Structure 1
Amino acid sequence: ERMGAPVMAFCRFDDKEIRLREPVMAPDALIIQDTTLLHQVNLFEGVCDAGYVLINSTRTPSELGLDDFFASRPGIRVLTVPASQLALEHVGRPLPNAALLGGFAALTGIIRFDSVAAAIAEKFSGRIASSNVAAARAAYEIAVTATQGASAAC
């Protein structure tokens, strides 16, 4: 699934201009693309007690050995989506980014799916865009089904 060495990246978004440039030390949400890192580094350090964790996996958080962490942080909403698998089905390659964005939109409600689809269409064109939108929509639908009735806020 991974193309190279592990990477930690940060993204801030808001309705107004963001002038901060330093790393995010207390994230409201985490998106974990590679489950092999789950027990090697402290990926959850600083995550908001009422935040969101989206994991690229076909397995449940329990099957990933995360019960103790999430039991101690009951306000965190956690969800796994098979983003790499969805990307393989729709895009033909295990590139989970678009599918994870779809899952993130459904899990958090912070962004609308239409915005995810528009961003993908702005970056890509033709079949690449449509297949990535399809992967994102599939993840979105999985996440909507899994998260109905739940809410969290930092």
Structure 2
Amino acid sequence: MPVAKKYFEIRWHGRAGQGAKSASQMLAEAALEAGKYVQAFPEYGAERTGAPMRAFNRIGDEYIRVRSAIENPDVVVVIDETLLSPTIVEGLSEDGILLVNTVKDFDFVRQKTGFNGKICIVDATDIALQEIKRGIPNTPMLGALVKVTGIVPLEVIEKRIEKMFGKKFAAEIVEANKRALRRGYEEVKCSE
């Protein structure tokens, strides 16, 4: 008899340099501040800019004892649509969510992956270019993830951005990242 999962699992797919590791870390820190138990860790192949990589999150109300890669995520986040393939959704049940950074439609994502569950799309790269003036789409993707899962309140992520970036960057950069986060939250669209 299968054991019920005690935590929520997210698998991020991106390319090195697109911020998947940073987004998973920021989500974990925000969830920790919200009183959750968390894990965030990356998995790299070749460690070079542009190489495919994965990052993982586990978030729960109880201490998390498992320390393995996530094989059966509740959500798969794809930061780079060129990675879309049937292997990207391995282990994701039809009850899960596939969240993709793309300008394409749901049919395109479904055709590339063969996934028949809930698909959510957002043009995170364009949001990042407009708001942050850099094409690193992790902040809008984080906003979209918060919207489609409700895993932590958006305000907790905004406070995390202030803490992480406030000491390193000018106030304009902090505000630009918060705008990008909010736009990802507001502009994500889901199939049903």
- Asked whether the two chains share a fold, i.e. TM above 0.5, the reply is yes
Structure 2: 5+ residue runs without aligned partners?
1-13, 18-48
Residue aligning to 1:101? 142
How well do the aligned residues superpose, as a CA RMSD in angstroms? Answer: 2.2
Instruction: Tell me which amino acid in the other structure corresponds to 1:16.
Output: E
Residue aligning to 2:91? 46
CA offsets, 1:27-80, max 9 Å, x none? 0001101111113x610000132111110111112134537723xx3xx22111
Residue aligning to 1:35? 81
Residue aligning to 1:134? 179
Q: Distance in 1 between matches of 2:94 and 2:190?
A: 18
CA contact (8 A) 1:98 1:120 kept: no
Per-residue deviation, 1:15: 2.9
CA offsets, 1:111-135, max 9 Å, x none? 2211221222221112222111100
Aligned counterpart in structure 2 of residue 21 of structure 1, from 48, 64, 67: 67
The 3 A distance-change label for structure 1 pair 68 and 23 is closer
Aligned counterpart in structure 2 of residue 82 of structure 1, from 115, 118, 123: 123
Q: Distance in 2 between matches of 1:147 and 1:36?
A: 20
Q: Which has the higher strand share?
A: 2
Deviation larger for 133-142 or 56-65: 56-65
CA contact (8 A) 1:61 1:67 kept: no
Q: How does 1:115-130 map to 2 (within 5 A)?
A: 115-125=156-166, 126-130=171-175
Instruction: Tell me which amino acid in the other structure corresponds to 1:56.
Output: N
Corresponding pairs, count: 142
- Identity among equivalent positions (%) equals 30
Structure 1: 5+ residue runs without aligned partners?
none
Per-residue deviation, 1:147: 4.5
Q: Distance in 2 between matches of 1:82 and 1:96?
A: 9
